[in-house]
Amino acid sequence: MYNDHIIIDGLQYCHWDRPYFKRLQASGITAVHATMVYHEDARQTLTRFGEWNRLFEQHADLIMPVRSADDIKIAKATHKVGIFLGAQNCSPIDDEIDLIAIMRQQGLLIMQLTYNNQSLLATGCYEQEDNGVTRFGKQAIAEMNRVGMIIDMSHSAERSTLEAIDVSSRPICISHANPSFAHSARRNKSNQVIRSLARRKGLIGFSLYPFHLPNGSQCRLDDFCRMVATTAEMVGVEHLGIGSDLCLNQPQSVLEWMRNGRWSKTMDYGEGNSNNSGWPESLAWFNDQHGMENIYQGLIKHGFNDTETAQILGGNWFNFLQQGLVPIAH
């Protein structure tokens, strides 16, 4: 049954406060990958760590930091929500490769090589030309592999994503995106990317963000489960997870920071537009504490058995983290 399993949401950026932590605890979620950084540089990232340390201190009865997969087991046993921290950009390392190890030591477990734009490491999905993984990017990937930091290519362009999969000596993730066959968005991933990811034992987390779903905010649970089933037929259940990309209770200013950072003088609307510039309307079946359980029930009705459904809702993420977070011994 749902509550017996380890449930992991592979990406959220909600407003982190005590009421939300209580909601997470009530939802049965064991652990959440929390975005800590979008465009913050190294110094600003240290402030984000400080903010999270304070949250862990103030709400120790509800949440706990995850530094390894074993911590997820502890969170499950103690009925707390484990939080593992990630960056949706490579900005925390500035232009200094040694900062990868420093950030990993601080607790940054996952880092995207780029967020939509060209970075020092790779090309984002919004650029017209995809030049692939850069020279710095190849060295950064090797260093991330060495220290046990997960490579995430959720916001990267096609060539860059394929090259990162091949260059990395360890499996990588696409923590929050959907297949392009379900919905043609620049952020979604081609069959080639998904197959390549699976061949190298990587993981894709299905996104619940309406801009990435068929029929947007009107996407039905059945539509979502059909997308998961089709992908499972393509590459197998063991490479699938959930990365909801849930951004609850965040103001418009946060959305604009995500999309624009400090790089643009004119407003960038991401996958919205000037007439639809705000947060999209949330899914009716994923807008309260029962969202993950609704997916569990939907997948069961769609023909997945309990073991397969448990893999998709958290087991695969657990196994992926268990292997990927361990540093490579010299």
Question: What are the extents of the domains in the chain?
Answer: 2-325
Strand duo 8-12 + 63-65: pairing: unpaired
Quickly list H helices, the chain: 18-27, 42-58, 69-78, 99-106, 135-147, 158-167, 191-199, 221-235, 252-260, 291-301, 306-310, 316-324
Angle, helices 135-147/99-106, rounded to nearest 10 degrees = 40
pTM of the model: 0.96
Return the amino acid letter for 66: V
CATH tag for 2-325 (out of 3.40.605.10, 3.30.70.120, 3.20.20.140, 3.40.50.300) = 3.20.20.140
- The CA-CA-CA angle for residues 141, 144, 149, to 5°, reads 135
pLDDT in tens, the chain (330 residues): 899 999 999 999 999 999 999 999 999 999 999 999 999 999 999 999 999 999 999 999 999 999 999 999 999 999 999 999 999 999 999 999 999 999 999 999 999 999 999 999 999 999 999 999 999 999 999 999 999 999 999 999 999 999 999 999 999 999 999 999 999 999 999 999 999 999 999 999 999 999 999 999 999 999 999 999 999 999 999 999 999 999 988 888 888 877 888 888 888 777 777 777 677 899 999 989 999 999 999 999 999 999 999 999 999 999 999 999 999 976
**Tokens 């397969």, residue located:** 308
Q: By C-alpha distance, which of 128, 190, 213, 202 is closest to 164?
A: 202
Q: How far apart are CA 330 and CA 168, in angstroms?
A: 17
